[in-house]
Amino acid sequence: MKILVIGNSAAGTATIESIRACDTNSSITQITDETQPLYSRCLISYYLSGKIDKAVLSYRKPDFHTRMGVDLLTGRHVTEVDPAGQTVTCDNGDSYHYDKLLIGTGSSAKIPEPIPKDLQGIFVLRTLSDAEEIKRRVPRAQSAVILGGGLIGMRAADALSRCGLKVRVVVGSNRILSRMIDYDAAQIINRKLEDNGIEVITGTDVSEVMHKDGEVVGVRTNHGQTLDCDILVVAKSVQANTDLVKNTDIRMRWGIETDPHMQTSCENIFAAGDVAETFDITTEQYAVNALWTCAVQQGRVAGDNIVGKKTLYSGSVGMNSLNFWGIPLISFGVTTPEDDSRYEAVTYSRPGRNIYKKIIIGDSRIKGLILMGETSNAGVLFSLIQNKIDVSGFKDELLSDHFNFGKVIHHGAKSVLERYYRGQSV
């Protein structure tokens, strides 16, 4: 059997490992548009800031593809998938046949209309190459503007501030991390950012980029404010890389639709990672949860099913974590529900100590949570989400510092503990 894997990050790597655990005979070809060896995208902002060396980014040994018996083709961008002919075509004109295909093409940053694409000093921060380009410009820069207050934007702001630059973050909504935390939690992070010299400007967008001699020198906001900058990082939003299948019968919405086997609408084509739409456990809708952990889990399930080992993916949960100047933050699932009448919020807040906790409950189950400052209970709470445990009998105990698996057993959910220790949950 000829297996073709498109993409060389978390989903593709997990798929290959899962295949080889069951099948050492099938041929595997992997195509990637990157030229860098395997690295963790979660860590590139730490590399940019100088916290870690480049070598730390690697999460598999250099001989990984050789040991796995994989023919790795780098620097090639797949432009077209032909499900009927079972081939893919690259931008250099080369075509490759497959019996089974895994699409793990990830996602890319969206560049808004006012942002020109031909100026020096304008960047995104999605890949190691992006980080290296920014790193080369930092020594001759004094200030940076980050457009977007999401997770990538905040990591870029943190990294560039640690490089000694004056950093401003321009956010269209009323708070940073709006898809991850609520307004009250954002204010705690805001104060910490400002204490460390990062200015956050909310309810604002960039309407014009100013330049001189082909290089960015500043931006003008829609409120008429002028912000000088030598570096502009665009981090407003991302989109799944689905262009390669847009003229096919493969079904798409926000990403490529998949079933619980990670199979697309074409039976011998699978998708995993940031390009794949999967069932979200908390919202009970299909969505793209662009997270490293989800990509790994989905890749493993896809690999199993590619070689005929029937494995089901139980669904994803939108989960994020970060740490700003000693404040740990974790969020899962629904944190700011649109329809408050369907949910109940349990909160605990001590902003003077940078502590904020919130749990969203719907239909007697945890639908989402925010843990800031104190995150030690994240594992047990996440297992309650994954296993859809009725928490109505002990919801007032969930945010206690003393809540643990012992409390779960006390309230009759022993099976959660058993699954946790078998490695099926968190």
Same domain (yes/no): 132, 204 = yes
Q: Which is nearest to 76 in space by CA: 60, 88, 64? A: 88
Establish if 116 belongs to a structural domain.
no
Q: Into how many domains does the chain fold?
A: 3
Radius of gyration of the chain (CA): 22
Same domain (yes/no): 71, 158 = no
Same domain (yes/no): 192, 156 = yes
pLDDT for res 403: 73
Environment class of residue 406 by beta-carbon count within 10 Å: exposed (0-12), middle (13-18) or buried (19+)?
A: exposed
pLDDT for res 424: 42
Give the type of residue at 306. I
Same domain (yes/no): 215, 126 = yes
Same domain (yes/no): 159, 244 = no
pLDDT along the chain (426 residues), means of 10: 97 98 97 94 95 95 96 97 97 97 96 90 96 97 97 95 97 94 94 94 96 96 96 94 96 96 97 96 89 95 97 90 87 84 89 94 92 89 85 85 62 50 42
Q: Which residues on adjacent β-strands are paired with residue 279?
A: 286
Buried b (16+ CB within 10 A) or exposed e, 338-353: eeeeebeebeeeeeee
Same domain (yes/no): 288, 383 = no
User: What range defines the domain where residue 215 resides?
Assistant: 122-236
Same domain (yes/no): 229, 129 = yes
Same domain (yes/no): 31, 88 = yes
pLDDT for res 399: 86
Same domain (yes/no): 277, 228 = no
For residue 25, what is the domain's CATH number?
3.50.50.60
Establish if 317 belongs to a structural domain.
no
For residue 365, what is the domain's CATH number?
3.30.390
